[in-house]
Every structure is written in C-alpha cells, then in structure tokens.
Structure 1
Amino acid sequence: MSNDVFIIGTGESKYGELWERSLREISVEAGLKAIESSGVRTKDLDAIYMGNSLSGMISGQENIGALMSDYAGIADEDVPTLRIEASTASGAAAVYEAYLSIKSGEYDLVMVGGVEKMTELYGNEMIDISSSILDREWEAFFGGTPAAMAALSARKYMKDYGVGKDVLAAISVNDHKNASMNPIAHFSNIITMDQAMNSTPVAEPLNLMDCAPQSDGASSIILASEKFMKQEKKEGVKIAGSGISQEYFALHSRDSLYSMKSTVNASRKALQKANVTLDDISFAEIHDSFSIYGVMALEDIGFAGRGKAKDLVFSEIGLKGKIPINPSGGLKAKGFPYGASGVGQFVEGYLQLMGKAGKRQVENAEYGLLHSVAGTGSTSIVHILGGE
C-alpha cells in the first residue's frame, strides 16, 4: 500500500479586516468547517499542524497550536498540535510537514491550519514587524522593508528587459477580477489597468495596487492517507508531488535581483516527484505579495522565459487563458494573512480539482501548481495537486 496523501476537506474564514474577531475565533471557524467538509471526527485526528508567522509580535500570543486545540474543545482528545513558522510561507510549510507525516506512514489523518491577524497594529509599528521577514542586521536595520526589497527587484527587472509598469499592473488586474468571484476574498472590486498603474506610490516603481494587503484570515484542510481514504470511502484531491528549496537569505547576496533560485529548484523537484510537466498544469496559485513577484514566479517556475512574462500577463493568465493564474484572487486580492495564505492555496486547489469553484472554475482542471515563498525568496515551497 502506497502512502499517497489526499485532501478530503477544507474550510476558511473570511479574509479581510476582521476587527471584531480574534485570532482564535477565525482559526477555529476554519478548522470546524474543514472537519464538517471532510465528514471526519476530531477524535480520529492523529495530529494538527498550525501555520503562523507573526502572532507573537502582533497579538502577543505564542504557543498557537495548543491554544487552537484548547479553544476548539479538543484539548482532552490527545491530538498533538504544533505551530510551524516559515515567514510568509508558514502555511505551505505546515502542509509540507503534515504531508511528510502521512507519507512516512506515521499518521493517517491530519488537520492543517493557517491563521494570521495582521490588522491589530498599523503604521510604523506594523512596518517594523513585517520587516522581520528580512535580514534584520543587513536589510531591515538600514531601512529595508518588504516593499523596498520588491521595488529593487522591479526596477532592475524593468531596466534589464525594457518593460513598463503595465506588465506589473496586469498581475493585479487579473487577481482582482478573479477575487470578485470569490466570496471570502479581502477585495471583491475589479480594477482597471489605469487604476493599477496610477494608484498611490509606495516604493518606486511599485504603487499601492502592486502590493498585497495586510489581511486577517484563517484556512484549514484535512489530509488523509490512501489507507484511510479506502477504509472510509472518501473522495479527495491527491498531493502528487512537493518540493522545497532554499536560497541566500538577504537579497544582496544572490546572483539575481529578479530570480528566486529557490522557486526554480522547488518547482523542478515538485514536478519531478509528481511525474508531470508544466504542460500538464491546468492552473497555478503563485506567491504575488508584490506584483513583481508574480512576474518573477511566471519565469522562475517556467511558464515564461526570462524577460518574457510580458507575453503572458495581458491575455494568457485569465481563467480561460493558456495558464490560469490565481483563480482565487491571489495574495493581492484574496488577501495576504501570512500564516494562512499558503493553506488557502490548497483550499483553492481542492475546490478547482473537485469542480466546486463556482464562477471562477477553471474548465477541465486536472493538475494545479501551488507556489509559496518566504520573505523575498529565501525559501520556496511548491506542491502539485491532481492525478489518480
């Protein structure tokens, strides 16, 4: 019996500015929805993995795993619960660890949750905290912020390949269009190219519409072994392959300002393990915390050659395009709660491959690629969903 791993249920809270709701409330909401969706019982869970990045600094709350288990009412059911932290890829890292725990044969049924409350702080205090994902000594100490680092990449990319802001803006326009069909998205408004290109400057050449929002939100999935699937007669979506890779931590240490070697390698590993090629991929959820990262991802994953993302972004990344990108709305429009966003990609992948994505359904979807990044690319995690 192989140890193939399947997603059998999902749940999410609303993404957005959830002023009236606590970290624990939205996390438990997503988890209980996933339990209900999968039709399993909490006492049957072997473990729970929680993805979270900044709760200690923003909410003053650590030990998130134990907190969520207690608040969900399962503290006395002897289900081990651990928090996984990997910056902005915390959610995907939690899924990766849960996937390995089943793949190894240790567990048969695991819940993965991701949660973040980003709106409890604002202004300079929040900028300082969000910059903790950078090299504190050599980047953040000298005034570097996530937006500033992305702007450096964007300026160099635009100069070297002679492209304008419209290439970046097209990523955001596509995200907002898809998010308008996603009921849990932070933003449901469609934006025009003109609005995207002429929004408030943030870090030249990036405007407000090039930047993902600081969102509150929680997502959860239930993973099961093939053995459990057959015993309980469940249906689900297979995690066909996964890859994780590392890169230099600080941006200035890398060979390129606009290529994430970690994404190149993680994508290659995931595709090889899934025994598929990019031609088999029906859609992709990519990490676009800034629009330039969306452009870079298209090239690093291999959907476009170097400097050639411009040939895709205007007509080929929509739901009916050559490679539909971010049918959920992506980080820019669905939202960007650091710890939840990676798990949220799996929710979208599950809905798409089960044919349950509603108005944003990609036709004849067979395989999905999910791409999550820590910081400015120090770690990339890629999963392939689909197949028998």
Structure 2
Amino acid sequence: MQDIHITGGAMTPFGRHPGVLAPELAQQAILKAMDDAGITKDEIQAIYCANVLGGMILGQLIVRDLGFAGIPVYNVENACASGATGVHLARHALLAQQYDTVLVFGIEQLTALGGGTIPLQRNDHKTELYAKAGMVLPAVYAMRGTRFLHERDATPADLAAVAVKNRHNGSLNEYAQQRTETTVEEVLASRMIADPLTLLQCCPSQVDGAAAVVLSTRPGKKQKPVKVLSSVVVSGIREEADDDILDAEITARAARQAYEQAGLGPQDVNVVELHDAFTIAELLYYEALGLAPRGEAVPLLRSGATRLGGRVPVNPSGGLLAKGHPLGATGVAQMVELMWHLQGRAGARQVAGARIGLAQCTGGGIAGVDHAASSVHLLGV
C-alpha cells in the first residue's frame, strides 16, 4: 500500500477568541500548516473541511479569500469525529491516486452557542425523548462512571486523578485552553454536574479553535515525515437491553481494525491522544484500546504508566479536559499533537523516543447506540 504522509500541521490556541470569526481562525491554521509543510497553495489539489455547527458550505467560505483556484472542497460532518473522518476520507482519495497532496482542517466556534451542553440530534424522536428526560451526554457518562465505581476497585479519587494528570499536561501546552494545574481535592470539590462527575471532570464547552494538516503521497519538504499507518472510522451498533455500558464496543472495534491494518498491537504504541470528554471516558478507552486488560484501567492509571514519562503517555496535550474540545477541530488537533511528538517538536511535554502514536475520537449522541461514530488512527515514523 502506498505511504501517506502528514507533511505539515498546525493549530490555533484553543479558547475564547472574542471578535474573531470562525473563518479567520481556520485560515490561521491553514496558512501555518502549509508553511510547516513547505508548500504553496498551488500544490494543494483538494481541501477537506471538518465542522459540526458552522452551517452550510463553510469550507468554501473559509478558503474563498486564500486564493485557491477552484479546487474541490469537501465539507465533512460526523459529530466530534468530524476532523478524524476528514483525515480518513482524504487518505482514501490519496490511496486511490485521485490526488497526491491535500489539506484537511477542522474548525469550531462553540462560544457562538452561548453555553450549555452540546446539542443532540434533533431529527430523531427517540433521541429527543431521551434528552427531555435528562439523558444529555454528561448524564450518560455519569451513568458509566457510577457503574464503573460499582463494578471496579475504583474510587471517585481515581476519576479525579485523570483530570489532575491531564490538567498538568495542559499546563505545559501553549495551545490548551486550561493551563492551570489542579489537585484531586480541588477536582472533587468543584461543582457537581452529574454525579459522580464534577465540573473539572468535564471538558469545557465554551471553546473555539482550528487545526490543519497537509497529507501527501510525497515525503515532506521541511519536517520529518509522519506516516498514516492506519485509518479506521466505524459507526455504532444498535444496543440491546443487556449491553454493558462499560464496554465501549465501538471504540474497541475500531481499534482492532486499526491495529490489524497497521500490523501493530497496543504494545507498540508510545503515545496516545484520546477522546476524554469526561474523566470516566479515558478509563474506559484504556481498556477499549487494549492499553489495559478489561478491569485493569485503574491499576494502569495508578501505576503512572499513562503520565508523561510513563510507559504510554495518554493525552500529553492535556486532552479535551484541558486543551478543550472545539468539535470539528478536535480530531485534526490530535493528529497535529501526535505529529509534533513523533518529530520531537512537542517542547516541555515531549514524549521521549515516540515512534508510534494513536489518535482516538468518538462522536455523536444518538439514543440506542454506544456512539454514532468512532475513529482510530495510527501514525508512525
């Protein structure tokens, strides 16, 4: 199979950007990614724009003023997995030799929504019924957290420890929205959102940001090329009444396919960026990704293996809990973070000797399925 390279990437700081429109944020990331790759706009043959809530033809609106000469622009929406899905589709086009160099970017401006939880699917009566009954995403993850504490040898302090780890990592990341460290006591004392999840165990909902990568069948001109070793996107399977809510089946299925596609296993991974929208999610994904056997997520966390300097650091960027979660940008930003680590450019949070990185992103709250979509990518040098 032909090698697909990430030849350059960039992102904006995640946070509040008053007075800056979404197109301006996206354009900043796009131009920096092109410069990082050492290419001009004339070398880009197609563009993939990932966004969830920005409206129609946002990609064309964003690139209109950048001088691209009528090349195809694809707008991709797949909830929180939109950015990762954009990379997945772009890779397919490169493998099919439709193009040899493309740009993928993600953008979201959540501050424009005015706060509150992320809106769920509005075209489904069952999902609307669940939402009216209080089954918004924080409540769903709180149920998983409650079950986790009941079934596993775990305490609320273990959930809080995930936030402590990731906020520490975020303090080292100039692109993160939350750059202050915290303690287990502070996390547990923060305002209750949905028991057992407190405020500091939930990713910020007021955040804007953009990220971009250049993908090519040609090695990079300026930076050490990073290969996309595997790329998988799957959809959720209808749940039955007796399904285990701690199973994270959709992510486990995507991970199995990604490992098989790359000819690798969990033991080969050196650094992970995963979808920690809530603290309990990170623990569940340790097991779904094969980083820990079933029932062993808490021992893995307590051992320090997933901290910076540990065997397999998870969310060195600070993850969604600290870096923030501008929906369409998240999956692309994970790729940029991994690219920096694999190239030795991650600064104070650098994972030493990283050669294989894993990015995992889920998306979509629909009644009756685990998630609407899940993506797993393996990158390597």
TM-score band, normalised by the shorter chain? over 0.9
Match of 2:368 in 1: none
| Cα distance in 2, alignment partners of residues 245 and 211 from structure 1 | 25
| Superposition map of 1:10-29 within 5 A | 10-29=9-28
Alignment of 1:90 with 2:82, yes or no, is yes
Match of 1:206 in 2: 197
Task: Give the drift of 1:199.
Answer: 0.9
User: What CA deviation, in whole Å up to 9, does each residue of 1:278-305 have, x standing for no partner?
Assistant: 1111010011001111111001111112
| Cα distance in 1, alignment partners of residues 89 and 246 from structure 2 | 28
Give the counterpart of 2:237 among 248, 254, 257. 248
Give the counterpart of 2:61 among 67, 70, 75. 67
Match of 1:353 in 2: 342
Give the counterpart of 2:358 among 358, 363, 369. 369
User: What CA deviation, in whole Å up to 9, does each residue of 1:55-92 have, x standing for no partner?
Assistant: 23xxxxx2111111113332xx1221111011111111
Give the counterpart of 1:165 among 156, 171, 188. 156
User: CA 1:132–1:253 in 2, change beyond 3 Å: closer, same or farther?
Assistant: farther
Task: Give the drift of 1:111.
Answer: 0.4
Q: Secondary structure at the match of 2:228?
A: strand
| Cα distance in 1, alignment partners of residues 90 and 182 from structure 2 | 37
The CA RMSD measured in Å over matched residues stands at 1.8
User: CA 1:316–1:354 in 2, change beyond 3 Å: closer, same or farther?
Assistant: same
| Cα distance in 2, alignment partners of residues 153 and 233 from structure 1 | 45
| Superposition map of 1:113-192 within 5 A | 113-123=105-115, 126-127=116-117, 129-132=118-121, 136-192=127-183
Alignment of 1:263 with 2:251, yes or no, is yes
Any unmatched runs of 5+ in structure 2?
366-370
Match of 1:59 in 2: none
Give the counterpart of 2:263 among 272, 275, 281. 275
Alignment of 1:344 with 2:338, yes or no, is no
Detail structure 1 runs of 4+ shifted over 3 Å in the superposition: 132-135, 232-235, 251-254
| Cα distance in 2, alignment partners of residues 371 and 138 from structure 1 | 29
User: What CA deviation, in whole Å up to 9, does each residue of 1:325-357 have, x standing for no partner?
Assistant: 001110000110010011000000100000000
User: What CA deviation, in whole Å up to 9, does each residue of 1:151-206 have, x standing for no partner?
Assistant: 11111111122421112111111111111111111011111111112211001111
| Cα distance in 1, alignment partners of residues 290 and 231 from structure 2 | 16
Give the counterpart of 2:219 among 201, 226, 229. 229
Alignment of 1:304 with 2:253, yes or no, is no
Match of 1:290 in 2: 278
| Cα distance in 1, alignment partners of residues 105 and 274 from structure 2 | 19
User: CA 1:241–1:152 in 2, change beyond 3 Å: closer, same or farther?
Assistant: same
Asked if structure 2 preserves the Cα contact closer than 8 Å seen for 1:52 and 1:338, the reply is: yes
Give the counterpart of 2:319 among 312, 330, 339. 330
Question: Percentage identity across aligned positions?
Answer: 33
Range that drifts further, 276-285 or 251-260: 251-260
| Cα distance in 2, alignment partners of residues 244 and 366 from structure 1 | 23
User: What CA deviation, in whole Å up to 9, does each residue of 1:255-277 have, x standing for no partner?
Assistant: 12122111111101111111111
Asked if structure 1 preserves the Cα contact closer than 8 Å seen for 2:201 and 2:279, the reply is: yes
| Cα distance in 1, alignment partners of residues 162 and 119 from structure 2 | 23
Alignment of 1:5 with 2:4, yes or no, is yes
Asked if structure 2 preserves the Cα contact closer than 8 Å seen for 1:52 and 1:339, the reply is: yes
Match of 2:379 in 1: 385
Any unmatched runs of 5+ in structure 1?
57-61
| Cα distance in 2, alignment partners of residues 278 and 265 from structure 1 | 13
Asked if structure 2 preserves the Cα contact closer than 8 Å seen for 1:298 and 1:304, the reply is: yes
Aligned pair count reads 372
Give the counterpart of 1:78 among 54, 70, 82. 70
| Cα distance in 2, alignment partners of residues 185 and 386 from structure 1 | 24
Residue identity opposite 1:84 in structure 2: V
Alignment of 1:106 with 2:95, yes or no, is no
User: What CA deviation, in whole Å up to 9, does each residue of 1:29-68 have, x standing for no partner?
Assistant: 0000001111111111111001111123xxxxx2111111
Asked if structure 1 preserves the Cα contact closer than 8 Å seen for 2:107 and 2:329, the reply is: yes
Residue identity opposite 1:281 in structure 2: V
Asked if structure 2 preserves the Cα contact closer than 8 Å seen for 1:299 and 1:305, the reply is: yes
Asked if structure 1 preserves the Cα contact closer than 8 Å seen for 2:41 and 2:67, the reply is: no
Residue identity opposite 1:206 in structure 2: L
Asked if structure 2 preserves the Cα contact closer than 8 Å seen for 1:46 and 1:79, the reply is: yes
| Superposition map of 1:32-51 within 5 A | 32-51=31-50
Asked if structure 2 preserves the Cα contact closer than 8 Å seen for 1:10 and 1:220, the reply is: yes
